[in-house]
Chain A
């Protein structure tokens, strides 16, 4: 036994550390930065500054994936690089032929055993599915939007559409105002060098609806949908912490304290009416926008389950699907935050445009709140405008929380929820418009 060889091989055991020194300094710095960013997300999630359900698994996964980088064997390297099948087979042969070992070393890339998001070819994908533990979740639920549909079913089962049915026009007008960022960031993104599909995908962050962003970017900007989704969900976690400041900055305490009379019509709406709304709404919106039909159907399925009184289904959708999908969504997003995937020159631009879209939509929503305040002669509390940015039910809670701080006892939550649900519908409308028309307008 050669003790020298054994000692020389020991550092090779700790590939997470070795890869830090063998790659470029920029990559090493990015990995260390993302490890600490992961720690920070877990901390902020635990503290309640960011959405804990998403941020705790995401932060943990982000730090782990950037720590656990290793040298992949030639076969896995070829599959991760998505080399053509012939090259893969050839590489498999070289890896077992000692004489060709030197040649195969050129294909020992750095990677991880979690997920390989860029693999497309079926043979490579089949191989990776047997290697990376999260690849089945990514391939069969994330990249086809199933996980977004599960989240939407769960959200649907939480929604009381009675508030929307009671005041449909008011809620929809507020939601339209709250899509300001979704509209304005499209030309801004194009001005900053993005393609129309990429600009539309990042503009959808203004709708504050994660599944819609995931869906739009899958349809219009598949090559950068990973960074777009990561940016979107990071920022959606921020709305809970950031929007209260926007409300306090733009709405004086006097207006925040405006009481809203409960709408008697809301109490009269029966579960039969809500169920009929879900059935007709799903059919009509799918008729108009077949491209968004999976998401529309999932949302209304949740509503229908809730209103049908199917408690066993509701329990599955609300507890298993929603929380299960949220856990795997956070986990997968965190794992996708590998430095190699995120070191895309467009990421910085996406970070800027994402926060701009959310900021503009927040301002738009509050402008909508002011619009309704003036139109109704001061009967509407402008704070419900922020709830029209569709992050359900977070922004409705934000609106109520800020109003309660200014005037304890004033309840605006029912109207805020109506605007919140309308926000989901207008986001679906925008997603459908972008997905349908942008490829036709700019092929």
Chain B
């Protein structure tokens, strides 16, 4: 039987983990957008 006290810390860790992953995804999106813009502008030239 799990008590709520035992679940608070894991819930917080889940939130932090989700935050880290979400920021990594945002970074990936930003990086990819820049890369593709560069590639497209090169192709345009």
- Complex Cα distance A281/B32, Å? 10
Contact A425 B32 (CB under 8 A): no
Q: Which of B12, B27, B29 contacts A281 (CB 8 A)?
A: B29
Stretch in contact with the other chain, from A60-68, A184-192, A253-261, A329-337: A184-192
A residues within 8 A CB of B22? 172, 175-176, 422, 425-426, 429
Contact B23 A172 (CB under 8 A): yes
Q: Which of A164, A183, A273 contacts B14 (CB 8 A)?
A: A183
Residues of B within 8 Å of A, CB-based: how many? 28
- Complex Cα distance A270/B22, Å? 23
Contact B29 A190 (CB under 8 A): no
B1-45 with Cβ < 8 A to chain A = 2-4, 6-8, 10-12, 14-15, 17-19, 21-23, 25-30, 32-33, 36-37, 40
- Complex Cα distance A168/B30, Å? 7
Q: Which of A268, A269, A429 contacts B21 (CB 8 A)?
A: A429
Best-surrounded residue of A164, A168, A285 (most CB of chain B within 10 A): A168
A340 CB to nearest B CB, Å: 29
Interface check A90, CB cutoff 8 A:
no
A residues within 8 A CB of B17? 433
- How many A-B pairs have beta carbons closer than 8 Å: the answer is 96
Closest to A164 in B: B29
- Complex Cα distance A43/B26, Å? 42
A332-358 with Cβ < 8 A to chain B = none
B29 CB to nearest A CB, Å: 4
- Complex Cα distance A277/B26, Å? 11
Closest to A433 in B: B14
A412-432 with Cβ < 8 A to chain B = 422, 425-426, 429-430
A residues within 8 A CB of B25? 168, 172, 281, 284-285, 425, 429
Contact A183 B29 (CB under 8 A): no
- Complex Cα distance A165/B32, Å? 9
Stretch in contact with the other chain, from A21-29, A76-84, A434-442: A434-442
Known: A184-B11, A186-B14, A426-B18. A277 touches B3 (CB 8 A): no
Contact A434 B14 (CB under 8 A): yes
Contact B26 A169 (CB under 8 A): yes
- Complex Cα distance A191/B7, Å? 9
Nearest 4 pairs between A and B by C-beta?
A191-B4, A168-B26, A168-B29, A172-B26
What is A's interface to B at a CB cutoff of 8 Å? 164-165, 168-169, 171-172, 175-176, 179, 183-184, 186-188, 190-191, 195-196, 199, 268-270, 272-273, 276-277, 280-281, 284-285, 288, 422, 425-426, 429-430, 433-434, 437, 441-442
